[in-house]
Chain A
Amino acid sequence: NAGVTQTPKFRVLKTGQSMTLLCAQDMNHEYMYWYRQDPGMGLRLIHYSVGEGTTAKGEVPDGYNVSRLKKQNFLLGLESAAPSQTSVYFCASSYGVGQAFFGQGTRLTVV
């Protein structure tokens, strides 16, 4: 099983550029999440979705947008990247209130 797959794994952006991170899960999970991980701050929730066509803001949503057009995919967009968005991004999915399964992460550097 592929589980949760994130693409790309690494990316370097210039300030002001845009990009989309793709998360795909093959477990038919309803819930999907985007987190960012920064040293000393743990994982902070950016946006999440409780089903196809629905999204909600997490703790740190500013500067990001998301879409969940298909149940298996959850896209995270940066419209105008800033150095403060340099981070490691993790996608996760879960079925109801069970455990969350994580992707391997995307390391993004904004210069």
Chain B
Amino acid sequence: DTAVSQTPKYLVTQMGNDKSIKCEQNLGHDTMYWYKQDSKKFLKIMFSYNNKELIINETVPNRFSPKSPDKAHLNLHINSLELGDSAVYFCASSRTASPLHFGNGTRLTVT
């Protein structure tokens, strides 16, 4: 199946831990993104990479570090997790000037 796939689907962890979310797309897109959706369903961009290069870095704590080993992968590592990091994190990809294709999301719960 052609898709944007991210793992894990659910992540429950304690404050202070470090965790990673992985994302892969097999659509041949050049650009990949991480979006955060809060409890009120508001989607906000965090990062964007084009061909492994960071092109958008919104005001996100530096505890969040994206890594793109190649243009088909964009992983998100989060250090020292806080309660406010609880949200659904969506990976997405696109070609230039084309709609985003989203992954199914990772629901992160920090306790």
A binds B: no
The chain A residues found within 8 Å of chain B, CB to CB, are none
The chain B residues found within 8 Å of chain A, CB to CB, are none
